[in-house]
Structure 1
């Protein structure tokens, strides 16, 4: 038996705003809130299902340096171009991390600057 990813943790100043953004991007719901404003979002079936949850950990100050962990997303019901348009309309913005422009994916940043990638391959919804 192996381990598997159950949740991803993302430090942020405004968990509420990022929860709105990531819930729209991933079709997630808010699963829980902590007293300090941190939040957990995830698929409707909750923690422990086929998809990991995303824990938005409230931080008063941004952590120095680049984020060492990022999220890759794949469209489930549209092509990459249409999903890119949707993500940009939700508040994502292009991010330059030194890519060549020949990549098959798009590097984006969420509203707080956390980098994530939109991959080309379309995945079936769970």
Structure 2
């Protein structure tokens, strides 16, 4: 039996990274308004634990993006398929991240994709052109490494 999964990224600013990666991948930022409203009504969370962003409630400590074609649990706003979760941690991860995303641009449009992501705060670290691969190593706004192929 196959397992469901999500990729979790430790970060300082979950809302900022969710916005960047939603833009980068064409994903949707999850709307957790229904879940937050339910937990507020039950007295489980306080107003200090969420903010309003673009008319929706969002957790201060975590934000997620999901593939727009995948199902969503309407009672929580949580995606039930391909998703990335960004969670606030107190300290930055030391050294190079051990896991990274590869973003695949349409053939012939890699440089356009690199430029598009740079406009949102990504930085180019290295252009790699060697037998078997041709890609650009970049960092997102918090310095997490990813590649554009």
Q: Please give the range of the TM-score, normalised by the shorter of the 2 chains.
A: 0.7 to 0.9
Aligned to 1:83: 113
Aligned to 1:21: 20
Distance 2:99 2:31 in 1: 22
Query: 2:29–2:64: 8 Å Cα contact kept in structure 1?
Result: yes
Aligned to 1:122: none
Distance 2:113 2:20 in 1: 14
* Matching of residue 42 in structure 1 with residue 66 in structure 2: yes
Aligned to 2:7: 8
Larger Rg over CA atoms: 2
Q: Summarize the Cα distance change of 1:71–1:17 in structure 2 as closer, same or farther, 3 Å threshold.
A: same
Aligned to 1:74: 104
Aligned to 2:147: 117
* RMSD of aligned alpha carbons: 2.4
Distance 2:113 2:60 in 1: 33
Structure 1: where are the runs of 5+ without partners? Answer: 120-126
* Higher relative strand content: 2
Q: Give the total of aligned pairs.
A: 114
Structure 2: where are the runs of 5+ without partners? Answer: 33-57, 73-78
Distance 2:9 2:118 in 1: 20
